[in-house]
A and B are shown apart, each in its own frame.
Chain A
């Protein structure tokens, strides 16, 4: 962990704090932190604010170095960090601004199953999901792809799975960027990354990744909920996973290969984890091509996990997915860098938006959204910790104006994994969850201990902050009843 922040933050309004660029001679822009009095004290103690300042030193950064209210310490960039760089101003791309788990993200699936029908058989269902969902820890999953197939996955993303009958047109349309980033290039991905990934597409992984059975606990915006197929009391399924070993390797490879780039391009960095290269340089282009390929892999990974969950439910209830009303609500990335069009200082520009533990939140009418979402804005899925809740939000115009179309991504950790395990000592987290009506299955007990609800910030406070700040609006709150963890 980093040191506690020793400088002073200026309060801009009820939910925004400024870290003025005059604080450090190397900052090119201000830092702006979305937070609230109840969340701020933890933020100040963990070293994340200095990381906001470090990111503000990156060449070509425009607007401000931003942090969402779920901010916590990360490698190089803080988690919850958003930064846009302009290639016309020598802007850089930094693998630390995306993270090791490239396109870690969340997918939400709705059903026509009332919670009351599932609850009596919940334990049985979760046990079946635990058996069927490939965790991919130790050994690979049931989907193994040849080198040629892997190239298609990396170059084309989820649309390739549609050709293989493993995704529907609606799945693709209801996925950020249609599950495919332009400019991905499988040849920019190392042999080691291929090796780590070839048997991991369609596996959940460990850490904070999960598959959940939930129900819609509360609806805040009835017409938006209806448009998204969400109804109070109905079961939803959520998947949280990323690009697995392939993405981790792409990031590690990039940090290694960019090691000398800062010196070559005359970039002074306050932290080695912030290694970067100009967007418009061979090194920058190479990273972007590989990162996009890993992002495509991650969309295929979540697609295959969704296919597996669908098959399990079909068998379990002896009904077709269609008659169960299984349909994708949306799929969002929360660790990614993308070229997007934004107005900065009164001028429209193409900038590279790094979102590290932050979610795109495009407003109604945005041309990149599918027809179905134009009237309401982009669905944003915010996973909470195991025992609490998740939220469905919508993107808003204020996010477009102030945060490069971004909002929070989750609750944000407050306890280290070891502290969480210590705090769980002598307790049975699975039984505590059970007493709250949540049935959880994980490989070991430490997995549940590390991810216990107390290890995270209060998701309600994080969501209140982004909604009051106008970055998103609330549609529905989802309550977990069944959890599968790697």
Chain B
């Protein structure tokens, strides 16, 4: 079982790309990719947990809504995320525990502010037995 993620470029903005053996790992990788883009996850301690439950109409919308919720936790509550643990998911619903801690300006470098998670060129699909996703962020 493995997963990986990276960012890719786009004229005005930035994209997240992830791949994994399972859907659960794919969403966990996407969640961490977003968190890492905002504040490097190596700077964030896993001292607290925030549960998330997100429902949507389909898998792609679920990806956008899930990432939107992660963004919300960071931006509304100033809770920095180190890891997203997916406890259970279907193609329209996901249960996640976000591990991290409250924002500490002495240790956390906010590398980027993200305005929104978009639908543009959104992709969540299986390719040769592996799950892949790409999502664009408006920054």
Contacts and interface: CB of A to CB of B under 8 A. Distances in A.
B112 interface: yes
9 contacts: A101-B115, A139-B105, A196-B76, A205-B113, A248-B138, A256-B68, A259-B57, A272-B119, A417-B139
B65, B68, B76, B117 pick with most chain A CB within 10 angstroms? B76
Given A138-B105, A259-B61, A418-B9, A273 B118 contact: yes
A207 B115 CA distance: 10
A1 B10 CA distance: 5
Q: Chain A, interface size: which category? A: 35 or more
A145 interface: no
Main secondary structure of the interface of B (DSSP, over half): loop
Interface string A461-486: 00000000000000000000000001
Given A139-B105, A248-B115, A273-B119, 9 more contacts: A101-B115, A139-B103, A192-B72, A206-B113, A248-B138, A252-B116, A271-B120, A417-B14, A418-B14
Interface of A: 1, 46, 72-76, 79, 100-101, 137-139, 192, 195-196, 205-207, 245, 248-249, 251-252, 255-256, 259-260, 271-273, 413-419, 443-444, 446, 486
B7 interface: yes
Nearest to A422: B9
Contacts of A192: 72, 76
Contact of A256 (B7, B13, B65, B105): B65
Interface string B82-99: 000000000000000000
A100 B138 contact: yes
Interface residues of B, number: 35
A75 B11 contact: no
A386 B6 CA distance: 29
Given A206-B112, A256-B65, A486-B113, A46 B105 contact: no
Nearest to B58: A259
Contacts of B113: 137, 205-207, 486
Nearest to B118: A75
Contacts of B64: 256
